[in-house]
Amino acid sequence: MSYVLVKKIQDRFSLQLKAGEEGLGRKIYKSDISRPGLEMAGYFTFYPSERIQVLGKTELSFFNGLEKADRIDRMNRLCTEETPAIIAANGMEVPVELYEAADKMGIPVFRTSIATTRFSGMLANFLESKLAPMTAVHGVLVDVYGIGILITGKSGIGKSETALELVKRGHRLVADDLVEIRQVAENILIGTSPELIEHLLEIRGVGIIDMMTLFGASAIKGDIRISIVLELEDWVLEKTYDRLGLDEEKIKIIGTELTKLTVPVRPGRNLAVIIEVAAMDYRLKRLGVNAARDFSDKLDNVIGSKPSQMDEEE
Which listed residue (35, 159, 172, 221) is catalytic? 159
Polymer length of the chain: 314
Residue 276: count other Cβ atoms within 10 Å of its Cβ: 19
Of 33, 42, 37, the closest CA to residue 56 belongs to 37
Coil, strand or helix: which one is 230?
strand
Q: Element (H or E) spanning 208, and its range?
A: strand 207-210
Which listed residue (68, 243, 252, 266) is catalytic? 243
282, 227 contact by CB (below 8 A): yes
Catalytic residue check, 104:
no
Q: List the binding residues.
A: 153-160, 202
Of 214, 203, 152, 153, the closest CA to residue 181 belongs to 152
Between CA 55 and CA 98 the distance in angstroms is 11
Which listed residue (138, 250, 286, 298) is catalytic? 138
Q: List the binding residues for ATP.
A: 153-160
Between CA 175 and CA 210 the distance in angstroms is 12
Q: Which residues, listed in sequence order, are joined to residue 136 by a DSSP beta bridge?
A: 180
Q: List the binding residues for Mg(2+).
A: 160, 202
Catalytic residue check, 159:
yes
CA distances from 180 to 129, 196, 222, 262 (A): 12, 12, 11, 21
Catalytic residue check, 223:
no
Catalytic residue check, 199:
no
288, 157 contact by CB (below 8 A): no
Close Cβ partners of 98 (under 8 Å, ≥ 6 residues apart)? 19, 75, 78, 79, 86, 88, 109
Between CA 314 and CA 309 the distance in angstroms is 9
Q: Element (H or E) spanning 59, and its range?
A: helix 57-64
Which listed residue (30, 70, 177, 260) is catalytic? 177
DSSP 285: H
DSSP 68: H
* Catalytically annotated residues: 138, 159, 177, 243
